[in-house]
Amino acid sequence: MAPDDLDALVIVIDDDSVARLRTVRALQAMDVTVEPFDSAEAFLRSPRQDIPTCLILDVSLPGLSGLELQEALAGAAIPLIFLTGHGDIPMVVRAMKAGAVEFLTKPCTIQDMHTAVREALARARVAYQQCAALAPLRAHYARLTPRERAVMARVVAGQPSKQIAAAFGLHEQTVKVHRFRVMHKMQAESLAELVKMAGQLRIADNP
């Protein structure tokens, strides 16, 4: 399936009902599903759909602000577009540094919104497919015990069995058993392949 063939969802978060409806209507010309919310909290309480998703949200929201929601979603692979009437340069800089696709000022043109949404959904579709491709690898990793995960992190970091044994207070032979089990459960044919898997799972960053 090509990325553009995937169904997509655009979440609109704005506490101004008039502005929220205007945004939803502007998106109706695009072949996407649109789901509106009046607060970040309402969105976070809602069930997630397993399709490529992007967010259009205001900066000034009751409760959790748009920028705070952006921080909360860090690493979630959900591209964000800010659409606000209360933005300033520090807000724009903060949002863009954190990975926002665009920072639009109300009222924006439909063309500008559509351009930003197309870019956001393109990113979302790529991220979605990458995540799907990693699903079998994540399933293998989930089978590892906490000790095996800790050993794997040190193995892919280049530490020899003797050093790992000393770090955990184990016999070297015990570490070698853990290494064998890691290789078997991860279905890795070589250390180089295990290192590649760890990179894909970012094990070095999150041992």
pLDDT of residue 12: 95
- Which DSSP string do the residues of the chain spell out, in sequence order? --GGGS--EEEEE-S-HHHHHHHHHHHTTSSSEEEEESSHHHHHHSPPPSS-EEEEE-SS-SSS-HHHHHHHTTTS---EEEEESS--HHHHHHHHHTT-SEEEESS--HHHHHHHHHHHHHHHHHHHHHHHHTHHHHHHHHTS-HHHHHHHHHHHTT--HHHHHHHHT--HHHHHHHHHHHHHHHT-SSHHHHHHHHHHHTTTT--
**Cβ contact 15:43 at 8 Å:** no
Structure tokens at 5: 């063939």
pLDDT of residue 83: 87
Query: Given this structure, which CATH class describes domain 3-133?
Result: alpha beta
Determine the residue type at 161: S
pLDDT of residue 177: 95
pLDDT of residue 85: 80
What's the fold here for domain 136-201?
Arc Repressor Mutant, subunit A (1.10.10)
Name the pLDDT band for 36 (thresholds 50, 70, 90). very high
Do the domains spanning 3-133 and 136-201 agree at the CATH topology level?
Answer: no
- Cis peptide before 136, with omega less than 30 degrees from 0? no
For 187, other C-beta atoms within 10 Å of its C-beta total 12
pLDDT of residue 87: 67
In the predicted model, is pLDDT for residue 154 greater than 80? yes
pLDDT of residue 7: 82
Which residue carries 């009902």 as its tokens?
A: 17
Q: Could you state, in order of their start, the residue ranges of all structural domains in the chain?
A: 3-133, 136-201
